[in-house]
Amino acid sequence: MSEAIERFFDSLPSRAPAVLRSTVAGTIQIDLATGDGTTHWLVRLQPGEAEVTRARGPADAIWHSSEDLFDRLVTGRAQAIAAMLRNESTFGGNVVLFLAFRRFFPSPPGARDPRDIVRAQAGRPR
Amino acid sequence: MKQIVSILDGNTFLVSDRRGDVEPSPDTPTGLFSFDTRFLSTWLLTLDGERLHALSVDEDRSFQSRFFLVPGEPTHYLDAKVSVIRSRAIGGGFTEELTVLNHTREEVEFTVRLDVGADFADLFEIKDAAIRKQGRTTATVGPDELRLTYRRDAFRRETVVTTSSPGDVDLAGITFRVRIGPHDEWTTRLHVSTVIYGSRGEDIRATLPLGGSRSPADIEAEQNELIAKAPKLGCDCQPLAGAYRRSLNDLAALRYESIALGVRLMAAGLPWFMTLFGRDSIITSLQVVPFLPELITPTILLLAGLQGNRLDDFRDEEPGKILHELRYGETAGFEEQPHSPYYGSADSTPLFVILLDEYERWTGDADLVRHLEAPTRAALAWIDTYGDLLGTGYLWFQTRNPDTGLENQCWKDSWDGISYRDGRLPGFPRATCELQGYAYDAKIRGARMARLFWNDPAYADRLEREAAELKIRFNRDFWIPEREYYALALDPEGRQVDALTSNIGHLLWSGIVDESRAGRVVEHLLGPRLFSGWGIRTLADDQGRYNPIGYHVGTVWPFDNSLIAWGLWRYGFRKEAGQICETMMAASQFFDGRLPEVFAGYERALTEYPVKYPTACSPQAWSAGTPLLLLRVMLGLEPQGEHLIIDPAVPDGMGRVELLDIPGRWGRVDALGRSRGPHDSDRGH
């Protein structure tokens, strides 16, 4: 298990108040495949709260991904919906949970605030 | 221009020629499509080696068509000993019933050949005329079945063609050698399935809520059920009656089942835009609120669910921003295009707030407004933060993705859509005028929701104060005193981009126009430079870039006209609003009641009919929504508290317009209007 993934799941409860602002609620199981097996994470989402355990269901939704892809997702080097569209990961169940959960993923490394770009180009301070 | 025949059910659609054939085409969207992938690029019928010719094509229904064909090219004398009927329908893929009729008194042997091929092109590859498949396609022949499979890493799409009558299947099609008795016929039923595989070898749609596919009969039943819920229109004006019925049918047909939510969303337009667009779906929703409010909730919920939450240069994404376009195909998945989703529009975010408020005012669905408080606040916050790129109190746009992003992130999003009067193009960022109007309206409506539903009067006060300041600022910076209209945009130096455009009509809709200036704006809109006689042009005919067949620089867009009519009404210009309603209805007759995405901006006196725009999408959701919004404008329908205000102003000569069972928080009410002009005096009712 990559350190980035461990850190990501550890951070969810403290980040939930800022990230889970909609009224979504439910449990999502995340299956991460490695070369020699699958690890399971269970995340219970509620408005402003996330509870993480290393377990399997019961769940309202299941998300399958390789550990490698998930590592890229939690470091912003991949984007969740594109990964789904190219079938690199799959999802079953309540999709609203997926849409809520993807909000935990960070911006890509080096992403810029558009105001910084435009104001630098115009010679204006932020 | 080659004539095409299209059938659709949501985002699965088939575009063929008048014979029912599909021939390989790298740059035009003919074929069978589903979720942005072309599943059939060849579907070509020959009889004894000869191509067929259409005698007649029946395309009454959105999801089915029927072709009557005979062999050979047309001559002035046709002596058909045999004819062919192709009856096809979309629904659970695509089904074609192929019948060959022998009209002679002898038994005849025929060779019926169907060439079949799939290039699995992504719609964007066709748009760019560059189909460069990275994956591999394989064909497999089974008993009475041809299976074409495309694979690129885990991405897998499959076309499965089956026939009910036995045929010789090869890698490129099916051949039937048939003997047909005198005056007898032969039939086979061909079925084409479009399969989108998930990783565990099943169709991805099988694991999602609604899933599955539906038969043509199911489609018809569901569409009829939806249309039955819409208010009933009774009127003397045949074009209006025809356009209304057609619009309801098209709106029903354009709904597609989203992979994401398992709900039916509104696709924007056939063939290029059969997917969810922020701007199109919101404007269509605004047009249909008074008629089919149940169409709207899924759209609002999905737009909120996909709201931007991070910074992403490739996708022009920022926290709080509402998406521009969501695609499902290979180029989106492999990030060759940014539509997963793409956030490159500066108007969908304020429009989202406007729609939620309008929806509640009609339906009284306060729960939805409470449920969506967080995303709506985030949208309002985006307007003043990431949206205000220069920190000048306006909404600006400039893409961070110069390769595949959009330059113009407003509704006139072609490269030359925003220009000065003399035709020069401004630099970036750009702040177009209608964006400021939408931002103003969003703040006013956000304030109403904050006060009534979010229990936050301080926030409401702040939004109203900001809106008032924006209106003052806007009227100072955008008004061109010597020309007496609002500039199309501000350029990066804050100078006015001074072209005369239809955008000033949107300002009336938003309410950002100073009352004292509304009259001048209206004179421009209905004056000869902007008004063609069929509608208001996107760009006035004396401007540098004017072109009557330029996509955003001189054409007439029905949806644009519908929003302008709403604006004219808002400022009390009922007669002028009526004029738009009347000319749009007149134009619709030339398109069988189906207003296209766009038509040419030629002077009405020149052509006597509205000239088609060569690649206009049709049906197009916000064009289908246009007759509905125009009906609202003519009848003066406006919710006020728990009631519906009905204040009709029906244009001269239109006679009686009666809309029964208008749904809303009041239950259902009827509205009746009647024109009172000199042309109506001889009517017997």
Q: What is the CATH number of the domain that holds B53?
A: 2.70.98.40
Roughly how many angstroms between the first and final C-alpha of chain B, as a whole number?
Answer: 45
> In this structure, is residue B254 part of a structural domain?
no
Best residue in A45, A68, A87, A88 to probe B by mutation, most B CBs within 10 Å?
A87
Average pLDDT value over all residues in chain B: 93
B305 reaches A (C-beta below 8 A):
yes
Examine residue B52 and state whether it is found in any structural domain, yes or no. yes
Mean pLDDT of B201-229: 72
Looking at residue B633, what DSSP letter applies? H
Please report the pLDDT score of residue B676 as a whole number.
83
Is B260 close to A124, i.e. CB distance below 8 A? no
For residue A88, the chain B residue with the least C-alpha distance is: B154
**Taking CB atoms and an 8 Å cutoff, what residues of chain A touch B314?**
108
Q: What is the domain range of residue B163?
A: 4-207
**Residue A19 banded pLDDT, cuts 50, 70, 90:** very high
Q: Are B586 and B527 in contact (CB under 8 A)?
A: no
Which domains are present in chain A?
3-121 (3.30.1050.10)
Residue B352 lies in a domain: no
Q: Is A17 on the interface with B (CB under 8 A)?
A: no
Contact yes or no for A96 and B197 at CB 8 A:
no
Least Cα separation, residue B39 to chain A (angstroms): 17
Are the beta carbons of A82 and B334 separated by less than 8 Å? yes
Task: Work out the number of other CB atoms within 10 angstroms of the CB of residue A57.
Answer: 12
Q: For residue B1, is pLDDT > 50?
A: no
What number is the average pLDDT over the span B29-51? Answer: 95
Q: Out of A96, A103, A114, whose CB is closest to B389?
A: A114
Record the pTM.
Answer: 0.95
Helix H, strand E, coil C: the string for B32-60 is EEECCEEEECEEEEEECCEEEEEEEEECC
Residue B208 with chain A: CB contacts under 8 Å: 92, 95
Q: Do B400 and A112 touch (CB under 8 A)?
A: yes
Contact between chains at B340 and A64 (C-beta distance less than 8 A):
no
Name residue B275's amino acid: T
**Do residues B145 and B47 lie in contact, with contact meaning Cβ atoms separated by under 8 Å?**
no
Is A87's CB within 8 Å of B396's CB? no
Does A55 lie at the interface with B, CB-CB under 8 angstroms? no
pLDDT of residue B75: 65
Q: Does A106 touch chain B (CB under 8 A)?
A: yes
* Per-chain mean pLDDT for chain A: 93
Least confident of B215-219, B308-312, B358-362: B215-219
Partner residue facing B155 (CB), from A87, A100, A106: A87
Residue B665 Cα, gap to closest chain A Cα (Å): 24
B310 touches chain A (CB under 8 A): yes
Q: What is the pLDDT of residue B74?
A: 66
B567-612 residue pLDDT tens: 999 999 999 999 999 999 999 999 999 999 999 999 999 988 999 9
Number of domains comprising chain B: 1
| Residues across chain A | 126
B202 assigned to some structural domain: yes
Banded pLDDT at B100 (limits 50, 70, 90): very high
Q: What does the pLDDT look like over A29-44, one tens digit per residue?
A: 999 999 889 999 999 9
Give yes or no for residue B340 having a pLDDT over 60: yes
Whether B182 is in a domain gets the answer yes
Backbone region of residue B198 per phi and psi (left: phi > 0; alpha: psi in -120 to 50; beta: other values): beta
* Low-confidence winner among A44-58, B349-363, B436-450 (lowest mean pLDDT): A44-58
- Per-residue pLDDT at B210: 44
Question: Cα A68–A70–A73 angle (5° rounding)?
Answer: 115
Q: State the Cα angle at B154 between B150 and B159, rounded to 5°.
A: 25
Interface contact A85-B340, CB threshold 8 A: yes
A124 and B391: CB-CB below 8 Å? yes
Q: Which residue of A has its CA nearest to B316?
A: A114
Query: Torsion over CA of B59, B550, B416 and B281, rounded to 10 degrees?
Result: -30
pLDDT above 90: residue A92: no
Residues B267-309 have pLDDT tens digits of 888 888 888 999 999 999 999 999 999 999 999 999 999 999 9
CA distance B172 to B117: 6
pLDDT category at B473 given cuts 50, 70, 90 is very high
The interface predicted TM-score (ipTM) is 0.96
Helix (H, G, I), strand (E, B) or coil at B236: coil
Beta-carbon contacts of residue B181 (< 8 Å; ≥ 6 apart): B102, B107
The answer to whether residue B151 neighbours chain A at the CB level (below 8 Å) is: no
Q: What percent of chain B has pLDDT over 90?
A: 82
Q: Report chain A residues whose CB lies below 8 A from the CB of B372.
A: 22
Check whether B257 has a pLDDT greater than 50.
yes
A126 CA: distance to closest CA in chain B (Å): 8
Q: Is B466 on the interface with A (CB under 8 A)?
A: no
Buried b (16+ CB within 10 A) or exposed e, B144-180: bebbbbbebebbbbbbbbbbeeebebeeebbebebeb
Q: Which of residues 79-138 of B touch A (CB under 8 A)?
A: none
Tokens 């989402």 belong to residue: A45
pLDDT band at B265 (very low <50, low <70, confident <90, very high): confident
B113 within a domain of the structure (yes/no)? yes
State the pLDDT at residue B683.
Answer: 46
Beta strand spans in B369-467 (E): 431-432
Closest by CA position to A69, among listed A56, A86, A57, A52? A86
For residue B209, what pLDDT is reported? 43
Q: Quick one: pLDDT at residue B211? A: 46
Mean pLDDT to the nearest integer, B556-575: 98
In a domain, B325, yes or no: no
pLDDT at B213: 64
- What pLDDT is attached to residue B656? 96
Q: Which residues in chain B are closer than 8 Å to A96, comparing Cβ atoms?
A: 261, 305
B200 touches chain A (CB under 8 A): yes
pLDDT attached to residue B131: 77
Average pLDDT over residues B447-451: 98
Which residues on chain B are in Cβ contact (under 8 Å) with A86?
152-155, 330, 333-334
CB pairs under 8 A between A and B: 121
B306 touches chain A (CB under 8 A): yes
CB contact residues (below 8 A), chain B span 420-449, against chain A: 428-429
- Position B428 in a domain: no
B330 touches chain A (CB under 8 A): yes
Say what the pLDDT of residue B625 is. Answer: 97
Q: Cβ(B556)–Cβ(B599) under 8 Å?
A: yes
Binning pLDDT at 50, 70 and 90, where does residue B234 land? very high
The C-alpha of B258 sits at a distance from chain A's nearest C-alpha, in angstroms, of: 11
- pLDDT-derived band at B199 (thresholds 50, 70, 90) equals low
Closest-approach residue (CA) in chain A for B36: A85
Measure CB to CB from residue B429 to each of A90, A94, A118 and give the nearest one.
A118
pLDDT at B243 over 60: yes
User: In this predicted structure, what is the pLDDT of residue B684?
Assistant: 40
Interface of B with A in 379-418 (CB under 8 A): 385-386, 388-391, 396, 398, 400
Q: Do A85 and B262 touch (CB under 8 A)?
A: no
